[in-house]
Structure 1
C-alpha cells in the first residue's frame, strides 16, 4: 500500500515537472515516521513498565495485563516508513547516480541497507556501554526485560533520528538535483511530437504502397 501511494505521489509530481524531488520527499516522510515510531515505542514501553511494577512482577517475566493493540501505532508507522523509504531510496539512487555506475547499483543499494542493519546492532552495544557510565549505573539492556530500560533506548533513537532529519534537510536544500533518467528518456522520445508537419517533405508525401 505504501509503495502504491509513493508511485501515485511520484506521478503527480511528474505532471508538475518536479519528479526529481519525489525521492527526497519520500525519504523525508519516512524519517518523520521513524521519529514518531520511536516515540510511540518509548511511550508503550514506559506504560508496560508501569503496569509490571504495579503488579510486582519485575523479577518474574511473564504475561503482562495489557492489550496487544498498544503495539498497533508503532507497527503501522514502521510499515509505512519501511515501504516509503525503500522505494524512495532505490529511486533516488537510480535517478541521481551517473550512467557509468548503473551496473553497480544493486550491490551498492544492498551494501547501504546492510550497513544500516549492522549499525542498528552496533548502536545497542554502544548505548548499553554508555548507559553504564563506568559501572555507576545499570545497563539499559538487562537479562531481564522488566529490569531493562528500553524506553530510554527508544527515546535515544528518537533524538538521534531527529538530528539525522535536520542534517538531511540541510543537505537536501543545498543538493543539486539531476534530472530523472526516466524524464530524459521521455523527453527525448517525444521531443519531435510538437514539431510542425512539413508538407514539402518528399519523404512525408511519398506513398508507402509502391504498387500504385
Structure 2
C-alpha cells in the first residue's frame, strides 16, 4: 500500500486541479443541501440492504484471509455471487434481472474476450519479444500502462501485459503496473471503462461532459 501512496496523492492533486480549472463555477457555489431520499420500494430496499451488508462482510472476510490465511482465500467471483443471492433468491429477481444494464456487462465481457483473443493469436508476441529485456523495467511498465491504456482501457491492458511479463514478477513490478494503470484511468476518458459508463449514464439524463466544459 505504501508503494502506491505517492501516485495516489499525485492523482488526487491533478484531478482537483483539472476540476478546479474546467469547473471553477461549481467551486464557488454554496454548500450542498442534503435531504432525505424517499424510498418508493421499501421491499426492494430491504433486500438491497441485506445484499450490501453481505458484500461488505465478504470483502472484510477476504481481506482477513489474504492477510492471515492466504491458503484459505476465496475467489472474487464467489463474493459477487453470494452478495447477489438475496436479490436472486427473492420474489423480485425477474424484475431485477430485467433491469440490469446488460449493455455495460456485454461491453466489459467483450473487452476481455478481445484482449484474450489478441494474446492467443500471437499478434503482440513479436513486438513484445523485441522489447522483452525492457518489459520488466519499472519505467517501461509505467510508460506502457499509461500510454496504451488510453487505447484499450487500463484493465484489459493489465490482463494483456501480465502474461508478457512472465513468471517471477516482483512486487515492485506489480506496484508499477498498478500505479501506471491507475494514473491512466485518471488521465483521459478512455483510460478506464468506468469513465465511459459514467458518461453514457450522464447522457441518458441529458448531461454532456464536453458541454459542461464549454459552459464553464
> TM-score, with normalisation over the residues of structure 2?
0.28
Q: Which has the higher contact order (CA 8 A, sep 6+)?
A: 1
> TM-score, with normalisation over the residues of structure 1?
0.28
The structure that is helix-richer by fraction is 2
* Structure whose alpha-carbon radius of gyration is higher: 1
